[in-house]
Amino acid sequence: MISSPHSSVRKISSGGPGGEAPPGPGRDHNHLPGDLLMWVLILSELAVFGAGLLAFLSVRLTDPTGFAEAQSHLHRTGAAANTLVLVTSGWLAALATRAAEAGQTRGLRLLLAAAIAFGAVFLTLKATEYADLWAQGIGTETHAFYTFSYLLTGFHAAHVAAGMILLTLVGWLGTPKAVEAGAAFWHMVDLVWILLFPVVYLL
């Protein structure tokens, strides 16, 4: 089992990795860790995907049988495997943040390379699913279910691809701040998938 490294993103006001110091005078324990802009991005992405998933479930009310039949064509096992792939990748990115804080440049690059490799596995499994659907003649116009599922999972996959590029860049830079920002984006991608997967594939 993978245990969660605590506080991948540093708390700016705590003065130490993980911000795990006990409460005390002068400490602001409600200061957002990391970059404010990254949190704006995280909130924006959660709002966009949340709205998309709510719309998906709302439209499903008009044709639950059709949605259930359409869902049966998706690769549920592959998507479940992709959840494990992304969670593992997020853990590696968190370890890379720790390595960056410890000044271990070679270590952080190896960890980020592994995280990126898991991202590639995710995209490969996703591409396999798309190819199989297309081979069955299933496109975005086939049913409302596929319009939403292609849109939501495709937009998420685009974020995975962007995250892989971002992790490559921050690995090249190698500074703790850059690695922290890249890892935060990667965790956001993970977070969105955690919400998207059960709604689109399981319910």
Partner 1 sequence: MLLALSAASAALAASGVTGAALVLPILTLAGIKAHLILKDYLGLGTAPGWLRGFDLGLALLILAFATLALAA
Contacting positions for partner 1 (CB under 8 A)? 1-11, 14, 18-20, 29-34, 42, 46, 50, 53-54, 57-58, 60-61, 64, 67, 76, 80, 83-84, 87-88, 90-91, 93-94, 183-184, 187-188, 190-191, 194-195, 197-199, 201-203
Contact 93/2 with Cβ under 8 angstroms?
no
Q: Tell me how far, at minimum, the Cβ of 16 lies from partner 1, in Å.
A: 10
Q: Tell me how far, at minimum, the Cβ of 25 lies from partner 1, in Å.
A: 17
Q: Tell me how far, at minimum, the Cβ of 192 lies from partner 1, in Å.
A: 9
For residue 168, which of 156, 153, 190, 185 has the smallest C-alpha distance?
185
For residue 189, which of 109, 122, 100, 117 has the smallest C-alpha distance?
122
Residue 40 or 134: the one with the smaller Cβ distance to partner 1 is 40
Residue 17 or 174: the one with the smaller Cβ distance to partner 1 is 17
Q: Tell me how far, at minimum, the Cβ of 172 lies from partner 1, in Å.
A: 22
Residue 47 or 139: the one with the smaller Cβ distance to partner 1 is 47
**Lookup: tokens for 96:** 């890379």
* Coil, helix or strand at residue 182: helix
Distance CA 73, CA 21 (A): 50
Name residue, tokens 């890892």. 183
Distance CA 132, CA 46 (A): 29
Q: List Cα–Cα distances, 202 to 34, 49, 65, 112, 183, in angstroms.
A: 33, 17, 14, 30, 28
Residue 139 or 198: the one with the smaller Cβ distance to partner 1 is 198
Q: Tell me how far, at minimum, the Cβ of 59 lies from partner 1, in Å.
A: 10
Residue 66 or 139: the one with the smaller Cβ distance to partner 1 is 66
What values do phi and psi take at 196, rounded to 5? -70, -45
